[in-house]
């Protein structure tokens, strides 16, 4: 009987049943939440942030940040809707930067990749934060 339960547990684990990290709220440490964005908002910084978002984040979070990207549909936990004003109000710039930098794993399962290697410059990750902040109210396209 015990052997059967162990085998059942192993079988469920192999199916990718979400573990604890997928069910818990993902909150940055207080010192990370307290960080402020050192990069001033400028058209150039937003353009670079948009480019990096499209290259690294769009596949899961979607073109407009709604969490409806093609790759995001196959994850353990759906990507956040970054256009949500309520969600954005809860997040500090430091928390967004920390999440972008460290990612989130549940054992061997990647809930969100860490982008420290793909976007090695801190300033560039802060530019992504600037761009993410525009998603609830996207800027008008240039004429």
Q: In sequence order, which residues have a C-beta less than 8 Å from that of residue 42 and are 6 or more positions away?
A: none
Only one residue has tokens 């004429």, namely 143
- Out of 25-29, 50-54, 69-73, pick the least confident: 69-73
Percent of the chain with pLDDT over 90: 66
Q: Class assignment of domain 29-134?
A: mainly alpha
Write down the domain spans for the chain.
29-134
List, for residues 72-108, the tens digit of each pLDDT value: 777 778 899 999 999 999 999 999 999 999 999 988 8
């Amino acid at each position: 009987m015990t052997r059967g339960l162990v085998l059942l547990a192993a079988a469920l684990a192999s199916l990718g049943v979400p573990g604890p990290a997928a069910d818990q709220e993902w909150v940055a440490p207080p010192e990370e939440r307290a960080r402020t964005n050192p990069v001033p908002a400028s058209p150039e910084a937003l353009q670079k942030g948009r480019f990096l978002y499209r290259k690294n984040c769009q596949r899961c979070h979607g073109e407009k940040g709604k969490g409806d990207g093609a790759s995001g549909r196959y994850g353990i936990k759906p990507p956040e809707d970054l256009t949500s004003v309520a969600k954005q109000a809860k997040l500090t710039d430091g928390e967004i930067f920390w999440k972008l930098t460290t990612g989130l794993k549940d054992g061997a399962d990647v809930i969100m990749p860490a982008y420290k290697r793909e976007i090695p410059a801190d300033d560039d990750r802060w530019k992504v934060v600037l761009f993410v902040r525009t998603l609830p109210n996207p800027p008008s396209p240039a004429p």
